[in-house]
Amino acid sequence: MTRRLLTALILSAGFSVAATAAPVVSDGWIRALPGDNPAGGYFTLHNPDKTPLVLTGISSPACGTAMLHMTHEMGGMVHMMMVDNVTVPAGGTFHFAPGGYHVMCMAPKGLKPGTNVAVTLKFADGSQVIANFAVKTATGN
């Protein structure tokens, strides 16, 4: 084997190793409220890749329309604001949690505590991850 061919093989092996590592979703849950009230969804998103991960949208048949929201306080009032995307740094973890960033299920359908619903997370690079979220009661049980 010539030295040049060996170098080419090593380079191509290096490129295949650099393939993106898939995002990891854990601890997903949705707070089901009585009636037709919008429901908040929470989860942890880990980015094992070497490049930033940009979450651009969320959908679930159980949510009707789903939006990315953040909660913030202004003048003693708590507001919710829609956000277009959320960036998780390389190797980082982002928590969607009560009082902070969350998924807003605008028109929840058949959310039954004790069951699971499938939620699709969409990323800027066109990839998607489907995760199971546990449906919990208003008190988070």
The distance of closest approach from Cβ of residue 4 to Cu ion in the complex, given in angstroms and rounded to an integer, is 58
Q: Which is nearer to Cu ion, 104 or 119 (CB)?
A: 104
Say how far apart CA 1 and CA 39 lie, in whole Å: 63
The 10 Å Cβ neighbour count of residue 95 is 11
The distance of closest approach from Cβ of residue 70 to Cu ion in the complex, given in angstroms and rounded to an integer, is 8
Backbone angles phi, psi at 50, to 5 degrees: -90, 0
Q: Which residues does residue 60 pair with via DSSP β-bridges, in sequence order?
A: 64
The 10 Å Cβ neighbour count of residue 116 is 15
Q: Which is nearer to Cu ion, 58 or 104 (CB)?
A: 104
Query: Which of 38, 44, 85 is closest to 64 using CA atoms?
Result: 38
Among positions 25, 55, 104, 111, the unique one binding Cu ion when judged by CB under 5 A: 104
Count of positions on this chain that bind Cu ion (CB under 5 A): 3
The SS3 of residue 82 is: strand
The SS3 of residue 20 is: coil
Q: Which pair of structure tokens corresponds to residue 97? A: 């949690």
The distance of closest approach from Cβ of residue 105 to Cu ion in the complex, given in angstroms and rounded to an integer, is 9
- Specify the stretch interacting with Cu ion by CB under 5 A; choose among 23-31, 43-51, 75-83, 124-132: 75-83
Q: Which is nearer to Cu ion, 91 or 98 (CB)?
A: 98
Q: Which is nearer to Cu ion, 80 or 97 (CB)?
A: 80
Q: Which is nearer to Cu ion, 101 or 123 (CB)?
A: 101
Site for Cu ion in 77-96 (CB under 5 A): 80
By CB under 5 A, name the binding residues for Cu ion: 69, 80, 104
